[in-house]
Structure 1
């Protein structure tokens, strides 16, 4: 009854424009989230929300000095956001200019990634058997842009032959980390942060410390092949699994790489590539 009365008192044109206004705001926020998703910017957005909530609470409790500090942070925060999010904002404008805001859904995406998983397994088997040391990092939700920039750009399709050739001893890129984003080798020879954890055995070298290190600061999934033993290890969420079988690696690739990539691609009108 109350809703019906509200519609009667509200002019039809005003109601339509209000709905359109809300849809536009929703669309802008949705696209903003899509642009920054998978980068460290999403963590900064969470921080901004905490600041806004903190300001509201301090104002409610009449904490004058604290409220003024929050106001100062928010006052200069807009400029800081533009500077910090500059790469993401540029990418959004480029997508808008190329007409890629609306993206087509990707069919058979999981089948495509399964093919690349088989290539990865083939390469790992080959390198483990011959004790070719390797460090392969899979980007998941958290962007690895900072670490990608330290390596040599490749932007190549993921194939077993290319994987093996990168890590062949005495080649320029074999000592660094390879970073994989979805089905592309983004870079090779990248530098990763080393873990200081005392839980890592002294018999393990720099590759293992780098693998644990990247898993401590991001949600990346990493494969390590030991140069001394040929053992295959993986890391995720600060956890190191040593000397796993190819079957166990296959399951982890499905869980931490394939499923994450499919989820990121989404589907439907706004599917991400």
Structure 2
């Protein structure tokens, strides 16, 4: 505590300026780190680490005097740096890549989400009617640039014709097996590989395309549109959950819920369950049984 007070002790205007500069640098670094991990699973891990540190402080002799617990956590904190590197290795890699190619002061570009989502919906319906498989990952808060590194760079406006062309399963089209990534209102890459889910509760009948869509949404807050090649069924993965057998109106409703400002902090089953309840309520009697 005394060391902390010494830091904020000001003896002249030069010390005041240096103190402000020092505080601004620390604030900026912490802000960029939080901005980088926003919307990812790393936020939950970071919260867990903060709780451990807080418990380490209160377990000291002058507070709760939990000697064994304090000793155990002290051994854990001794390897804190190594643990942080292991847990956040993907986020650290993405941060270093970002710092190397973009300015730290670069802001995010706003885009008309409604128009972009409409093009994705139209493309999904076109692909579904022809039973052409598709996988479209739509970025929200978490940066998806890490998943575009191995893909083919496109950087184009989102249009139903472009998305349809990418997924046409011809031998001359090497992109149709991978995923399309949409960032800041533009198609940035195609032919991307997404992480597969390891969730044992996922249905065994679901193929690689669906597992990849669920896997990405377990690690980030992205929304993934999936069109089945075998059945033509349209699904949306979000927050580790999969909602299947959607028509255009249901897609629009669910995507608007995901991307609306009021739902920006709501992820996973809570949002999906509310959508399920409304869908079941709006369906006529017998429609749900016929769908199943």
| Paired position in structure 1 for 2:211 | 209
> Relative to structure 1, is the Cα distance of residues 53 and 155 closer, same or farther in structure 2, using a 3 angstrom cutoff?
farther
TM-score, structure 1 normalization? 0.70
> Relative to structure 1, is the Cα distance of residues 159 and 29 closer, same or farther in structure 2, using a 3 angstrom cutoff?
same
**Is 1:200 the equivalent of 2:223?**
no
| Paired position in structure 1 for 2:290 | none
Q: Any unmatched runs of 5+ in structure 2?
A: 1-9, 266-292
RMSD between superposed Cα atoms in Å: 3.7
Alignment partners' CA distance in 2, 1:141 and 1:121: 21
**Is 1:238 the equivalent of 2:237?**
no
1:101 is aligned, of 98, 105, 121, to 105
> Relative to structure 1, is the Cα distance of residues 237 and 52 closer, same or farther in structure 2, using a 3 angstrom cutoff?
same
For residues 14-37 of structure 1, give each alpha carbon's deviation from its aligned partner in whole angstroms, at most 9, with x where no partner exists: 996598365554344223322443
1:88 is aligned, of 83, 95, 119, to 95
CA contact (8 A) 1:35 1:91 kept: no
**Is 1:225 the equivalent of 2:227?**
yes
For residues 181-200 of structure 1, give each alpha carbon's deviation from its aligned partner in whole angstroms, at most 9, with x where no partner exists: 33233433314314554563
Alignment partners' CA distance in 2, 1:219 and 1:14: 45
Alignment partners' CA distance in 1, 2:73 and 2:169: 54
After superposition, residues 67-82 of structure 1 pair within 5 angstroms as 67-78=70-81, 81=84
Alignment partners' CA distance in 2, 1:19 and 1:56: 27
> Relative to structure 1, is the Cα distance of residues 86 and 219 closer, same or farther in structure 2, using a 3 angstrom cutoff?
closer
Q: Any unmatched runs of 5+ in structure 1?
A: 1-9, 264-273
CA contact (8 A) 1:142 1:220 kept: yes
- CA apart distance, 1:117: 2.2
| Paired position in structure 1 for 2:133 | 133
**Is 1:62 the equivalent of 2:61?**
no
> Relative to structure 1, is the Cα distance of residues 137 and 68 closer, same or farther in structure 2, using a 3 angstrom cutoff?
same
Which deviates more, 134-143 or 220-229?
Answer: 134-143
Counterpart secondary structure, 1:228? coil
| Paired position in structure 2 for 1:4 | none
Alignment partners' CA distance in 2, 1:146 and 1:22: 31
CA contact (8 A) 1:40 1:142 kept: no
CA contact (8 A) 1:211 1:222 kept: yes
TM-score, structure 2 normalization? 0.66
**Is 1:29 the equivalent of 2:30?**
yes
Counterpart secondary structure, 2:59? helix
After superposition, residues 111-130 of structure 1 pair within 5 angstroms as 112-130=112-130
For residues 124-168 of structure 1, give each alpha carbon's deviation from its aligned partner in whole angstroms, at most 9, with x where no partner exists: 12211211111212233344466445x413252223232112211
Alignment partners' CA distance in 2, 1:207 and 1:185: 19
